[in-house]
Structure 1
Amino acid sequence: MKQIFKYFFLLFFAININAQNIENAEKDSLKIKSIELFREIYWNNIPKPVSWTNDYEDLFSDLEQTKLDSIISKFERETSIEISIVTIDTIKISKEKFDDLTLHMAQTWNIGKVEKDNGILIGISKGYRRIRIQNGNGIEKIVTNDETKEIIENYFIPEFKKGEYYNGTLNGLCEIIRILKDKSEK
């Protein structure tokens, strides 16, 4: 009798654990579907930019955003080149689609003058440890992909590795501006 009770208890325990695993799997599946739906809605309803710097990941203080906006505004007045910075929280997009989202934002926000296609979008995700610079076709004629890669590696990333996102963004932004000014003066 004791043996039967032992087997019955083990069977009950195994069924209970299996039921919990199924319930957890269903909850996880529901969470994944909810996140996917949220991301799809976000993709189809990209928020309008509030300024040149749109910090959806809260990497910058208000003062830092103001400084970045001021640098970009001054440069835009001098050259007509538009630069936008966006930080993107991981809930908004999967890591695999991060680059696609930055391109989608650049196109949706119409960064750059239409006739010149001279916009640049700098997309940053601290959570994914990603940065992407989307250059308009007019900018690609001035700054090569290799130069853009060098700017990321030498100006953004060293500061990002230290957790200094503002300093890295400022350094990278200033280098982009310097290169564009140097090349347009020649």
Structure 2
Amino acid sequence: MKSAIKFLKHCLSLLIVILLLSSFSALAQDTYPSPTVYKYLNDYVGIIDNEDANKIVSLGKELEDKTGAQAVVVVMNTLNNTPIEDYSNSLFRTWGIGEKGKDNGLLILVAIDDREWRVEVGRGLEGAIPDALSSRVMTSIAKPSFKSGNYSEGILNSYSVLCDYASKEYGVTLDKSLNVTMPSEENYEDNDGFNIFIFISIIIIVFIDSIFNRGRLLRMLFWTSRGGSSPRGGGGFGGFGGGGSSGGGGFGGFGGGSSGGGGSSGSW
């Protein structure tokens, strides 16, 4: 009897240790850096030069002063294998970028060592900056600079363009805009053609599967995707509420905004 009790105590202790380790692991996954005193620019790598940094901060402040929208840049070395879509969405919510209730925030996240970027757009700006537009801005403006190692230029120029589109939603003009010219859409005809090809191919596959396989392939893919994915967004991140200080004087905090997961991602 004593040996059985001793064994149960040992198992209970082991279970407690496992639960504690799991809790610490979950806590570590949900820990994000604090915003810098510059608010609109959070360069944790030190890759953006001083002149470009000043332009980003000045432009971000003007955008917020005139519209209330908040556009934020975050530069990190690596996300340690966390999908950039999940990380950016959680970071957006944790910081509370944009005004509470209006969700007019914008986040540009660049992971240098991972060679990935993400534009996360709050619900309030999704009309002004749809997914396809943010992708085109980063692909045509930021990506060429990133490939040549000129991250500072690529981030500044793409930030200016996205701020311009955000300001148009409010009918204002940004005096500090760089007035960067977007490449014409003709440059993307090949990509559009490829997307159409993929769309038609999917329709053909679904049609053949429904006729000759009674939709088994489609059902299998559906249940596999349900079992292998986790929901994004939702609760768990309270943001900064009414806009607490980001520390050290700076430009104040964020407004408690949120993101519905809209935006675009890419690599170089």
Query: TM-score under structure 1 normalisation?
Result: 0.72
**Which structure dedicates a bigger proportion of its chain to helix?**
1
Measured in 2, the distance between the counterparts of 1:98 and 1:180 equals 23
**In the alignment, what sits opposite 2:103?**
117
Asked if structure 2 preserves the Cα contact closer than 8 Å seen for 1:93 and 1:101, the reply is: no
Asked if structure 2 preserves the Cα contact closer than 8 Å seen for 1:57 and 1:125, the reply is: no
**In the alignment, what sits opposite 2:63?**
75
Measured in 2, the distance between the counterparts of 1:107 and 1:182 equals 24
Match among 140, 162, 184 for residue 154 of structure 1: 140
Structure whose CA Rg is larger: 1
Count residues with an aligned counterpart.
Answer: 148
Q: Percent identity?
A: 24
Q: How much has 1:100 moved relative to structure 2? A: 1.1
Unaligned runs of 5+ in 2: 1-22, 173-268
Q: How much has 1:39 moved relative to structure 2? A: 8.1
Q: Structure 2 vs 1, CA of residues 115 and 165 (structure 1 numbering), >3 Å: closer, same or farther? A: same
Letter in 2 for 1:88: M
Per-residue Cα deviation, 1:140-160 (whole angstroms, up to 9, x for no partner): 122211111111111111111
Per-residue Cα deviation, 1:72-99 (whole angstroms, up to 9, x for no partner): 1111111111011101222x421x5222
The reply on whether 1:139 has 2:128 as its aligned counterpart is no
Measured in 2, the distance between the counterparts of 1:49 and 1:111 equals 11
Unaligned runs of 5+ in 1: 1-36
Match among 95, 101, 112 for residue 126 of structure 1: 112
Letter in 1 for 2:80: I
Asked if structure 1 preserves the Cα contact closer than 8 Å seen for 2:103 and 2:122, the reply is: yes
Measured in 2, the distance between the counterparts of 1:38 and 1:157 equals 37
Per-residue Cα deviation, 1:150-177 (whole angstroms, up to 9, x for no partner): 1111111111111111111111011112
Letter in 2 for 1:78: K
CA RMSD in angstroms, aligned pairs only: 2.2
Asked if structure 2 preserves the Cα contact closer than 8 Å seen for 1:43 and 1:101, the reply is: no
Query: TM-score under structure 2 normalisation?
Result: 0.51
Measured in 1, the distance between the counterparts of 2:155 and 2:138 equals 9
Measured in 2, the distance between the counterparts of 1:175 and 1:39 equals 38
Deviates more, 1:139-148 or 1:127-136: 139-148
User: Using CA pairs below 8 Å that are at least 6 residues apart, which structure has the higher relative contact order?
Assistant: 2
Deviates more, 1:68-77 or 1:43-52: 43-52
Match among 151, 156, 170 for residue 165 of structure 1: 151
Match among 143, 148, 162 for residue 176 of structure 1: 162
